[in-house]
Amino acid sequence: MLIDAHVHLDKYGDLLDDALKEIETEQIFTVATAMDVPSYLELQRIAERSNLVLPTFGIHPRRAADYANRLHEIGRHIETSPAIGEIGLDFHWVKDASTYSAQRKVLEYFIAAAAEQNKFVNLHTKAGEKEILDLLEKYDVRRAIIHWYSGPMDILRAMIDYGCYFTIGVEVLYSHYIKSIAKAVPDHLLLTETDNPGALRWLKKNDEIGMPAAIKDVVNALAELRQSTPDHVESLVQANFSRLIADDPWLQKIRDSFFS
């Protein structure tokens, strides 16, 4: 089974029906990450249409400033979410440094809740890699997916030692640095993502809308890079996701349906 462990399904607009159809046809297990509260509520509605879609609540670092004084509201939604994401820090693309303390406050609130409620987290780490690893250690959050890692190699190694999982996405098709990261992630921590529909558009600066089946391009690229086969990469990633959720108290139904 193909796994897309980080995707923004609520952003598909008119193409949502097509995207869901593709998810069903290709049997892609899909972790649908939220950007903020409205995004999460929309993902919950979308997930009613496919049991391959797992909607998760998070506040993206870009949106954190609007939520730093609404932690109570965040807390209510965390309770209803089986996993956490997208959360994180972004001190690179987010230029407005006045939001950084809000980003830190919101992220720490989520990490603490994830620890308390035993939920896995899906993290955006751009230029906050070391700080995020410190937080995971502080709260002993062991089940973490690092999405689209592009930071320094020494922190990558420290995250690997800690046991973080890494979703490699479509940039592996274009960037030498991402290829070197994709090679450095050990077999047992490798996951895949598309971060679509926007990832290709963002990378190629065009108006291309990334569809769910792009996950197959990622699998093929990983197979080539790691001198493996697409089938082997697919089953490796499936086994890894299965291990990530093996004792998850919130995902038993998903385990029984797709990963047993």
Contact positions vs Zn ion (CB under 5 A): 86, 195
The rounded distance, in Å, linking the Cα atoms of 197 and 11 is: 7
Name which of 86 and 171 has its Cβ closer to Zn ion.
Answer: 86
Q: Minimum distance from CB of 231 to Zn ion (Å)?
A: 27
Cβ neighbours of 248 (radius 10 Å): 16
Q: Minimum distance from CB of 147 to Zn ion (Å)?
A: 6
Name which of 15 and 223 has its Cβ closer to Zn ion.
Answer: 15
Q: Minimum distance from CB of 6 to Zn ion (Å)?
A: 6
Name which of 16 and 239 has its Cβ closer to Zn ion.
Answer: 16
Q: Minimum distance from CB of 106 to Zn ion (Å)?
A: 16
Q: How far, in whole angstroms, is CA 101 from its chain's centroid?
A: 23
Name which of 36 and 86 has its Cβ closer to Zn ion.
Answer: 86
Name which of 4 and 86 has its Cβ closer to Zn ion.
Answer: 86
Q: Minimum distance from CB of 30 to Zn ion (Å)?
A: 13
The rounded distance, in Å, linking the Cα atoms of 168 and 81 is: 24
